[in-house]
Structures are given as structure tokens and as C-alpha cells.
């Protein structure tokens, strides 16, 4: 059976996954697809803009992917896929998806059907682009748990984490969605809500690792401190040979980004040219003290496990490779 190697970027939104995906997408042999989980609704149904700037229906890359995967996007039942998503790809289903025993035959069939749509897109994108590795930055932990049951996908998960207080502050910001052409804004969460989501999503990726999926953790702050070294290690984890790669587009302080066919995600996916790589610690001054304290208290166990100081004024110590920076198991299921 032919499988497609997929590097799945997981974690909670506003953790830096879009930037990391864009940087990894510049590597030879890699095709970055953005957040495929949103493709069905935002692109197929609403015809929003691809990262290249074209509407989805006018993007040559995605039209070729649709033909290769399904014989054309017109043959895809979007309503069926969204119904499947509600039935199997929700955070509340993770205990069932991660269970050590096989679940009911009906649920197994639904999971296989839902994951199969993604497998077809991944395989088609690899064929159209000629890539060896496809990146899906969907982030959703429940989707990753569904994909682990799909034999057509060689799943490797990059679990991206960022200090929960920085994530909480980012979720309070107003961010426009230029791809929607309607003045829409990205979802916002109160700090208490984002703290609970941060715990749930990150814990779910730890559970995925215990189920035998290859998972490697990368702190966003460590990526910014050593982008070149981080990219080399992630490339090796994805099965690529970093020793023969041309990384001239990347240096310790910036990256040169070209246009990409990102299906959905943070507006940063439209950015091209030279981009400065620097820490954004505005949350230390802009997030109210009581909000910092609340998020720190709610997320304390995982913050400590990931090597973050519980005091919001303390510097983040460098990660110990193999413990805080990266934690992995062997590939396979």
C-alpha cells in the first residue's frame, strides 16, 4: 500500500504554527498546505483566497489537486464531510479515538471515511507538487487522532507549544481575515477560555504520542532562538536529509518567504519577502496581572512540564533537547 508522509503541525492556535509552517514550506521536497481542516468550508463552500492570493476556484495548484484526488472538486460532497467532522472529529471524541481497544464498527467506518478524504488530498498534493513530505498545519488534536487510524498516511506530528500566557494575550487581539473579502475577523477568546483550550489540546498530543504515533515537541520560543537548528532537526524528524539542504533562505534573525498555496490559516500565510524572526513578549506588559495569574494557575502543570517558568517575569530557560524541546517515539502506529 502506498502511503503519503504527512507532517502534521499540532497545538492550539496563536502558538506560531503558521510561521513555522511557512519556514518549513521553503525546504526542498516539502509541500505546505495550510490548515486543511478548514478547506471544506472556507475554500470549497465559500471560495476564500489561497495563500497565493487567488480565490480557491482560480488557484491552479488546488484545482489540479482536486482533479487528482477526486476527479474534480465538484465531485466532493461538502455537506457529508462536515457531517462526518461533527460525528468523529471533535475534542469530546478524543477519549474514544485514543482508546486502547477498538471502537464500535460503525464509528470505525465513519473515522475511516473521514480520514480517507484527507489521505486523498495529501496524496494528490504530493503528486502535483512532486514533494516527499506534505505539511498540514490544521492543529486540531482530534483530527490527528483520526489520522492515526488511516493506513494511507505516514503520520508524524510536530507538537508546537508556546507559553500559555502569550497565547492567551494573542487570542484577545482583533485580527482581520483578508481572505474572506467581507471584513471578517478571526475568533477571539477570553484568557480563561484560551487557558482551558491550551490545556486540552496540548494534553491530547501527549496522549497521541502514548498511542504510538511519532510526535516531536517544539517550543515556539526555542524555534525563534535557533531557527536554523530547529529546522534541521524537524526536517530530519520528517524523514528528510538536512545535510544536503540549501538553507540560504534562513538565518538566525530572518527568513525569506515565497508565495505558498496555504488553504487556510493565520493571515501571515499571505506574507512574502524577508520576515524578521523575533520574540513577541508583549503579553508580559499588556495582559492584565490578574489575567496572567489566572492563565498561569490554570496551565501550571503543563507549563512546568514544558519547561516554562511559572513567574511571568522570569526568562524562559533553554530547553533540554529530548525532554522539553523535543519528545518523540518511533514512527508508526
Per-residue model confidence (pLDDT) at position 174 = 81
Cα separation values, 205 from 86, 198, 307, Å: 20, 11, 17
User: Can you give the three-state secondary structure of 133-188, one letter per residue?
Assistant: EEEEEEECHHHHHHHCCCCCEEEEEEEEECCHHHHHHHHCCCCECHHHCCCCECCC
| Extents of the domains making up the chain | 4-305
Which of 74-83, 92-101, 231-240 shows the lowest mean pLDDT across its residues?
92-101
- Cβ count within 10 A of residue 314: 9
Q: How confident is the model at residue 332 (pLDDT cuts 50, 70, 90)?
A: very low
Select from 61, 9, 11, 57 the least CA-distant residue to 34. Answer: 9
- Reported as a single tens digit per residue, the pLDDT across 143-153 is 999 999 999 99
Distance from the Cα of residue 244 to its chain's centroid:
26
- Reported as a single tens digit per residue, the pLDDT across 160-209 is 999 999 999 999 988 877 776 666 778 888 999 999 999 999 999 999 98
Residues near 50 by beta carbon (within 8 Å), at least 6 away in sequence: 43, 56, 59, 61, 62, 261, 262, 263
Higher pLDDT, 324 or 133: 133
- For residue 326, pLDDT beyond 50: no
Per-residue model confidence (pLDDT) at position 70 = 98
Q: How confident is the model at residue 83 (pLDDT cuts 50, 70, 90)?
A: very high
Cα separation values, 235 from 134, 272, 330, Å: 12, 22, 15
- Reported as a single tens digit per residue, the pLDDT across 170-183 is 999 888 777 766 66
Per-residue model confidence (pLDDT) at position 325 = 42
Per-residue model confidence (pLDDT) at position 183 = 64
> Which contiguous run of DSSP H or E holds residue 215?
strand 214-219
And the C-alpha cell for 9?
A: 503541525
- For residue 22, pLDDT beyond 60: yes
Please give the Cα distance from 32 to 21 (Å, whole number).
7
Q: How confident is the model at residue 328 (pLDDT cuts 50, 70, 90)?
A: very low
Per-residue model confidence (pLDDT) at position 333 = 37
| Helices 105-129/78-88 angle, 10° precision | 130
- Reported as a single tens digit per residue, the pLDDT across 212-242 is 999 999 999 999 999 999 999 999 999 999 9
What are the phi and psi torsion angles at 6 (to 5°)?
-120, 125
- For residue 88, pLDDT beyond 70: yes
Q: How confident is the model at residue 329 (pLDDT cuts 50, 70, 90)?
A: very low
Per-residue model confidence (pLDDT) at position 51 = 96
Cα separation values, 226 from 28, 35, 137, 201, Å: 20, 25, 21, 25
Look-up of cell digits 472538486: 73
Answer whether 292's CB lies under 8 Å from 165's CB. yes
Partner residues linked to 31 by β-bridges: 134
Domain 4-305, architecture per CATH: 3-Layer(aba) Sandwich (3.40)
Average pLDDT for the chain: 92
- Reported as a single tens digit per residue, the pLDDT across 235-285 is 999 999 999 999 999 999 999 999 999 998 889 999 999 999 998 899 999
Per-residue model confidence (pLDDT) at position 101 = 58
Per-residue model confidence (pLDDT) at position 62 = 98
- For residue 12, pLDDT beyond 80: yes
Amino acid at each position: 500500500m502506498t502511503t503519503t508522509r504527512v507532517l502534521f503541525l499540532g497545538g492550539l492556535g496563536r502558538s506560531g504554527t503558521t510561521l513555522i509552517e511557512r519556514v518549513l514550506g521553503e525546504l526542498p521536497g516539502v509541500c505546505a498546505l495550510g490548515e486543511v481542516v478548514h478547506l471544506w468550508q472556507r475554500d470549497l463552500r465559500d471560495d476564500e483566497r489561497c495563500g497565493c492570493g487567488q480565490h480557491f476556484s482560480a488557484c491552479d495548484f488546488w484545482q489540479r489537486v482536486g482533479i487528482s484526488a477526486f476527479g474534480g472538486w465538484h465531485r466532493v460532497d461538502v455537506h457529508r464531510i462536515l457531517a462526518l467532522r461533527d460525528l468523529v472529529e471533535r475534542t469530546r471524541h478524543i477519549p474514544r479515538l485514543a482508546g486502547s481497544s477498538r471502537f464500535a464498527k460503525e464509528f470505525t467506518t465513519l473515522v475511516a471515511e473521514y480520514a480517507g478524504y484527507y489521505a486523498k488530498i495529501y496524496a494528490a498534493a504530493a503528486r502535483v507538487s512532486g514533494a516527499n513530505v506534505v505539511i498540514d498545519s490544521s492543529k486540531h488534536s482530534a483530527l490527528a487522532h483520526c489520522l492515526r487510524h488511516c493506513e494511507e498516511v505516514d503520520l508524524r506530528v510536530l507538537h508546537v507549544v508556546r507559553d500559555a500566557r502569550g497565547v492567551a494575550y494573542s487570542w484577545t487581539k482583533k485580527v482581520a481575515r483578508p481572505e474572506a473579502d467581507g471584513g471578517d475577523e478571526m475568533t477571539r477568546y477570553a484568557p480563561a477560555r484560551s487557558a482551558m483550550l491550551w490545556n486540552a489540546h496540548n494534553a491530547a498530543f501527549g496522549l497521541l504520542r502514548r498511542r504510538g504515533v511519532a510526535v516531536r515537541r517544539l517550543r515556539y520560543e526555542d524555534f525563534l532562538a535557533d531557527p536554523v537548528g530547529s529546522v534541521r532537526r524537524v526536517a530530519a524528524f520528517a524523514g528528510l536529509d538536512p545535510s544536503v539542504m540549501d538553507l540560504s533562505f534562513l538565518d538566525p534573525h530572518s527568513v525569506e518567504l515565497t508565495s505558498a498555496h496555504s488553504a487556510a490559516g493565520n493571515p501571515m500565510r499571505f506574507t512574502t519577502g524577508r520576515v524578521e524572526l523575533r520574540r513577541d513578549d508583549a503579553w508580559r506588559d499588556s495582559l492584565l496581572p490578574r489575567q496572567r495569574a489566572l492563565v498561569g494557575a490554570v496551565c501550571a502543570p503543563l507549563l512546568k512540564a514544558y519547561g516554562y517558568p511559572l513567574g511571568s517575569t522570569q526568562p524562559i530557560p533553554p530547553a533540554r533537547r529530548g525532554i522539553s524541546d523535543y519528545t518523540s517515539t518511533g514512527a508508526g502506529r
